[in-house]
Amino acid sequence: MSDRPDLAVLISGTGRHLANFIRLCNAGELPARVTVVLSTKPDVRGVHIARDAGLRVHVVRPGPAFDDRVTAALSATPVSLVCMAGFLSLWRFPPGYEGRVINIHPALLPAFGGKGFYGLRVHEAVLDSGATESGCTVHYVDDQYDHGPIILQRRVPVLPGDTPTKLAERVFEQELIAYPEAVRRLAAGDATKMRDER
């Protein structure tokens, strides 16, 4: 991978990670650039963030030939790393993308991941389980939800009186550190070391 990767950011909603990537790239704090944004929904905050930043945006709604339509959209722009960030669909990518598609999940995978584990549901499940810690995971994407090899994790305590919202906020603070850090290390060619950190 290039030491300054071209990022595609795949979203379905609020785009806080997208905004963070754009900010860090513009500030020179992340050696990368966002070249394209793909959203499964047309009128979400993340799409507006992308357009305001002057980025190319593709809206690809779930439905027939979804995988092919995503692949076609991404192929129109140089992309070295695909970052899923709040992307709620499964993209079964074609050969050539292996090791170049990553995701962030707001729990310590392999726990509390998989289809249906998104948003506050993740944090509700963590609290219901009685777990004493949670966190976030950046991982390579494969053909299952929240499943590929782990790149890095950051942990937070579960505190007395936590609600799903409070826990989500604490985890998200760490997500904003974890995701750029994973991209930095991938750009530096440190993927093997990253895998060993689990």
User: Does residue 5 bind ligand GRF (CB under 6 A)?
Assistant: no
Q: How open is the CA angle 135-39-62, to the nearest 5 degrees? A: 100
Q: Count residues contacting ligand GRF (CB under 6 A)? A: 15
- Least separation in angstroms between CB 95 and ligand GRF: 25
- For ligand GRF, give the closer residue by CB, 97 or 145: 145
Report whether 83 contacts 10 (CB < 8 A).
yes
170-189 positions binding ligand GRF, by CB under 6 A: 172, 175
Residue 68 makes CB contacts below 8 A (sequence gap 6+) with none
- Least separation in angstroms between CB 76 and ligand GRF: 23
- For ligand GRF, give the closer residue by CB, 11 or 68: 11
Residue with smallest beta-carbon separation from ligand GRF: 86
Q: Which of 7, 8, 10, 13 binds ligand GRF (CB under 6 A)?
A: 13
Q: Assign residue 131 a region: left if phi > 0, alpha if psi is -120 to 50, beta otherwise?
A: beta
Active site residue 105: yes
- For ligand GRF, give the closer residue by CB, 100 or 154: 154
Residue 35 makes CB contacts below 8 A (sequence gap 6+) with 6, 7, 8, 55, 56, 77, 78, 79
- For ligand GRF, give the closer residue by CB, 17 or 58: 17
d(CA 68, CA 137): 27
68-87 positions binding ligand GRF, by CB under 6 A: 85-86
Q: Identity (one letter) of the amino acid at 142? A: D
Q: Is the peptide bond before 110 cis (omega within 30 degrees of 0)?
A: yes
d(CA 154, CA 178): 7
Q: Which stretch binds ligand GRF (CB under 6 A): 9-17, 35-43, 64-72, 183-191?
A: 9-17
Residues in contact with ligand GRF by CB under 6 A are 11, 13-17, 46, 85-86, 104-106, 136, 172, 175
User: Annotated catalytic sites, by residue?
Assistant: 105
